[in-house]
Structures are given as structure tokens and as C-alpha cells.
Structure 1
């Protein structure tokens, strides 16, 4: 496979988030830059949360997938100048989250964080008759909600600005 940006991004589609395996690093907006330098590739990425325990695993998976796919040396660096927000997620990522049973984050535009959490549509039936059970979910990036209409508990990917 030719070593170019198009093929790098195509390979990055195969690097899935270990905590939400229906999303890849591009869906999440984690990749801030790719660069071809001679016969090597340099990737810059940002974690979704500063304390995300999966960062090193994701870095290793990016390197492994790109090295195997493109047959080249790959370095992956945390981009310390960029800041991840949930607004970086693609529309496709939000649809994949919903189909996976996790309510996607709402667009964060400076609204009060607590107000956003209180207005979370159910990931199962779409009802807005929900309430926040816990701001802490199975991972740092999720909260737990309950739907009064369908009776389901569901997770919500927290909006982050």
C-alpha cells in the first residue's frame, strides 16, 4: 500500500476505541495530524479525557495497525496543544453510539453542564422523559440515566467542552 495521507486515514478507520468498540479514533476526532516523513509516519492524537486509562492502549493500537497496514515505522504523539471536546465527534459516531445503546453527547455551546445532562434523550426510545441517576458511569466519559417512558437505564457519553 502506498504511503500517503489517504491510506493513513483509511488505516486509522480500523483503530477502534477499546471502551466503545463501535467507534474508531477518527469517529471520535482524536487524530489532530498525520505526517509522512520519508519512509515513516508521525501521528498526533488527543485523548477524549485527560485521565483516560485507554490512552496508551490506543497509541499502541494506532502504531500497530499503521505499521502492519503500511509496512513502515510509526510514531504516535499526544498533541499537547489541541484540546478534545465532544463536538469533535462525527455525526456518524453519534449515530453509532445511539445504535450501541449509549446516548450521544449533545452539542456543547457553552450551556451549563448540568442543564445538558438533564436534557438527555433516551438511547433506547428517544424519549426526553429521563433523569440523571448518576454523573458517573462505567467509564470517566459516561453518565447513567433512567427513562421514565420505557423503563430502561442507559449510559450517556458526557458532553465536554
Structure 2
């Protein structure tokens, strides 16, 4: 990122009932699927994934974050469509993989699915970082370079 530290977006926590959706997790759950596990172990900056469901996204990148000890995966997400069962789909561009300081305001894995669902109903793009220890954070749109943000998918 630039020298300016982006602001973390935790608006999803202000929703009534948000904490009732919390699922306690100390670390990201590793996928049981050997294919997902292999792909997750090889994710690098510049990788792109298309038409993932929210559950597939959490499985793939949760596994990558858990395996990538000390690494942060910074992801540009574009919410694309809703399938015939009402599930939101998304495209992902891996913008950065490397060491990053964990910001104040980072949340734990137990809130990620709820946060994704919340943002998918409100906007089409978001930038999200995930790291080991079951931590993630979402950047406020106005705190990052919007030309990078919108042109990476």
C-alpha cells in the first residue's frame, strides 16, 4: 500500500444481530479437499479466480492463509452474480502476498462469512486481507487507491 495507512471497514459489526452470527474460530479451517489444499498452497500475487461461491472463497483462501505462516493475502474482490439458489458469486485478484502488519481493527475468522454476505449486499467491490491466526480485515473504499481497487479484476 501507499505510505498512508488505509482505514479498516467494520460497519458489518454495527448491524443488529451481527454478534449472533459469530462462529468462534481460532484459526482458518483447512480444506478437506485435496485439490483445494494444493491450489491454496501455491497462491501467489497475480493469481485470479472466477465465479467462486462465498463458501468456496472462504475454503480456498482460509486454507491459503492458514498454510502461509506470517504471510498476508491481499485480495481484490468483485461480487459478480447470484446463482439459481441465491448464492452470491465473486471474482478474486490476488493483489499481494507477503508480510504486512496486522492493523488495529482486524477481525477473526468467525466473522468472515457474515462480513462477505454483508458487503455483497451493499457494494460490488472490496479489498480484503487475510493472514494466519484466523485474522482478516476489510479496507474502506475511500482509503485505498481507487484506480488500483477497481481495475484489478
The two structures have a TM-score, normalised by structure 2, of 0.24
* Greater Rg over alpha carbons, structure: 1
Which structure has greater helix proportion?
A: 2
The two structures have a TM-score, normalised by structure 1, of 0.23
